[in-house]
Every structure is written in C-alpha cells, then in structure tokens.
Amino acid sequence: MAARRGLEPEKSWGDLLAEGRLPRFALICLGVWLNAADGLVTATIMPSVGAELGGYAYFAWATAGFLVGAILAGASSGRLSELFGLRLATALAGVVMTAGCVMSALAPSVEVFLWGRLVQGLGSGWISGFAMVAIALLFPERHLARVFASVSGVWGIATVLGPALGGLLLETGDWRNVFWVFAVQAAAFSLVAPFLIGGGAKGQGGPGIPWLQLGVLGLGVSAIAVADLLPNTALSLAVIGLGLAVLGLVFWIDHRSRVRLLPHRAGDWRTVVGSGYAAMFWLTAASMGFAIYGPPILQALRGMSPLWAGYVIGAESLAWTATALAVAHVSGAWDARWIRIGALCLVASLVILAWAMADQPLAWVLVGGSLMGAAFGLSWSFMGRRVMAALSEEDRAIGSSAITAVRQTGAAAGAAISGAAANLAGFHHGLSVPSATAASVWVFLAVVPLALIGAWAAFRLTGEASAASP
C-alpha cells in the first residue's frame, strides 16, 4: 500500500515536534484530554447521578445521547474545517462543550441532564473531529503512528486522573462539580485554541455542508440510541436493526450527492477505507458495555467505591496506552499482524469478562479489561494510518474526520445493544444484586457477534482490501 503523500523514513520524536508542529501537537493532546477524561469521569459518577435524578433505565442513553451529538459533530467537522478553518472552528467547539457542561451541572432532572450530555457530545465531537483533521493536514505521514501513539498516551493520563477526579469530587462534594470542572477546562481550551493552532490553517471555502446525509445519519443514530429505552426486547432489537439499515442508507445517498460527507467508496469493504471504517465501527461497538456497565456492576457485586470501580475499568485504557506506545515504531509486515492480533484480543476479552465479572477473582476482570485495551492499542494507530494514507487529496479532510464519526457511531450502536441486553436482564428496574449479576454476563455475550464482524473486517483490511484502490 503506497501513501499518496509519499513514504518517508521514520524520524525521531524530536522531528515530530519540529518545524512549528509543537503547538499543533499540544492542541490535539488538549482536545483528546477533554474527550477522554469526560468519558471516564462520567462513567464513574453515573451511579450517583442515577441515585439523585432517577432513571437507571437511561444509563446507556447518558452515553448514547452524548454520542449522538458527537457523531453529528464529528461527521461534519471535515466540511466545517474547510469552510471556516481549524482556528475558528476549534475555538467554537470549546464554547459548545462548555455550554453542555453547564447544562449538566445545573440539571434539575434526568431529562435536562441528558440534553446537556447531547450538547457536550456536539462540542466533544467537533473537538475530536478537528483533531483528526489537524493530524491529517498538518503532520507528514512518517509521524502518523507516533501521533496516534501520543494520543493513546493522553488517554493513559486521563485513565489515571479521570476516575480519581470523579471519585474525589464525589467523596468531598457533589457530582455536579465534575461538570463545573470540565466547563472551566473547555472554556480555557476555547480561549487558547486559536493561539495553539497558529496560522496557515484558514478556511478555504468548500462545496458546503451535506445536510441530507447528516439528517439521515442523525435519524439512524437516534434510532439506535433510543432502542434500549423500549420496554420490549424484540422491539429494541428491531429498532437497532432499523437504525443500522438507515446508517447504510447514508452511504447510498452520499455516493450520489454533489456535497459528500464521506470519502469515495467509504462503504465498500473491498477497499482500504471501507474495510478500515467497518473494522473501527464494529470493534468499537463490541467494547462499549465494559465502560458503561462495569462501574455499577462492580459497585453492586463487589462493594467497590466509585473511585476504585473507575480504576478497574481504567485497566482498559492503561493497556491501550502501554501497547500503543510499545508498537508505535512498527512498520512493514508487523503493522498488519498487530491489527489482526488486536481484533482477536477483543473477542477473547469479551469471553473472559462474561465469565469473570460477577464472581471470579478480580484479577480475571483486570485481565479481561486489559485485553480489551490491548486490542485497540495494538491495532488502532495502524488502522488509522492505513485509512489516512489511502485517502486522496480531495478526501483528506472529510476522510480523516470521518474516523472519529465512525468510531463514535459504533460506540452509540454498542451502547444501545449493551443497554438492551442489560435491561433484558432487569437493569432498568434498578441496581440490585440479581440485576447486576445477570447484566454482568449478557452485556458482554450480546456483543460477541459484533466483535467477530469487526475481526473479519480487520482481516480484510490487512488482506485483500490492502491492495485495492480506495
């Protein structure tokens, strides 16, 4: 697979930050911190939010609603960066995230809280999408694997500090303080973004925004997101299937539109871009149950505090960081091997967690979570690098930002499917030992088929598709 930007030799970390790239690199890391830490802290405090505002049946929606906004924002970020430039667009993204944090902090009811999460998702999705655009446009290909590894490193820092922050604020104050802390950080991000991004990334205009595709995308994601709120399991699964079909319609519409949302042949699994997007979608979907339902299950069945439950779940991100940094220098045949090994690690992690989560030694839960993190640490940067290298100049902005949107769409689908499984197990009646015990099995077994589909796409990405044109 040859990159259109030309293959250049690997250079040092010092070269990565040379030639004015340091402030841009700092901006990307700041944005990743906001996105990563927000998710980890929210997972830690959700049992307390549910206790005060009610709505245990809305556990997955607190994540899925956030992702609805994040997906729509991430999918549009490529076009918005072309229209307005990274400096202005990134600063505005911080403002939107600040507004969402304030809404969640002031929420008098679960409904207002969920609307706040939706607005937070919009801001976070734009921040993440613009970060991916910045990586694609502002860094030579020789640095892509190292930049992705650095992004994983920021996730590792968030893993350590995020649950600690959430746990400390819960033990010393109110869960609402978490959102005030992030409102301050998002506002600061908005203020410094224009200075960190620097000049030279101004808007160049563009063909416009693909409103039809975004509308259909929002409809499909919303159908998936609300599926776990339905009282009937068969109906929930039918709505999830309908939502996935609507998402497939986005590819058909986009292929025939003058203003595109996605790169050419993005839905074709015979290409690098198509198989790469598919692997990212399905593997991410299969991983969501651990982050959403792990903390309440551990608190209910093992008597853990929110802080310690958060750290157990954080084993996933720590393993992601460690493995990503360990393989950051890899090139040649081994990048394909690590993608395949990573996909198989995810399947193994789900089986281990379904067996161990309720009553096996905690060490096995840590093994399962670590394998899940390693699955992405070993494969994610190489999948992203292959997709970015296969994009044409015309598709560079929209294709790179679509990586975030595809991942978050998969997360929304996975949250809904895990939520449907948990509610089938009785979780929507409240957090109890019987409901937590049943959910500890079905939340993971229900998504094993998704992991197998993702593994198949990953093998195609490193096999037949790697030689196909995007």
Residue 462 is inside which H or E element, if any?
none
- Predicted pLDDT at 6: 41
State the first-to-last Cα distance of the chain, in angstroms, to the nearest integer: 11
Fold held by 15-467: Growth Hormone; Chain: A; (1.20.1250)
DSSP assigned state of 139: S
In this structure, what token pair is assigned to residue 4?
């259109």
Higher model confidence: residue 152 or residue 402? 402
Distance CA 288, CA 309 (A): 16
CB 308: neighbour CB atoms within 10 A? 17
Tell me the helix, strand and coil percentages in the chain, rounded to 5: 80, 0, 20
Work out the average pLDDT over 239-247: 89
Work out the percent of the chain whose per-residue pLDDT is above 90: 24
CA 31 to chain centre: 13
Beta-bridge partners for 202: 85
- Predicted pLDDT at 363: 95
pTM for the structure as a whole: 0.77
Work out the average pLDDT over 441-470: 84
- 275 has a pLDDT exceeding 90: yes
Residue that the structure tokens 């982050």 belong to: 291
Three-state secondary-structure class, residue 202: strand
Work out the average pLDDT over 113-133: 86
- Predicted pLDDT at 207: 59
pLDDT in tens, 331-347: 767 888 999 999 999 99
- 466 has a pLDDT exceeding 70: no
- Predicted pLDDT at 266: 87
Least confident of 167-176, 211-220, 341-350: 167-176
Mean pLDDT of the chain: 81
pLDDT in tens, 36-70: 777 667 766 777 787 788 766 666 667 667 777 87
Beta-bridge partners for 85: 202
Q: Under a CB-based contact definition with an 8 Å cutoff, are residues 342 and 378 in contact? A: yes
Higher model confidence: residue 389 or residue 249? 249
In single-letter form, the type of residue at position 332 comes to G
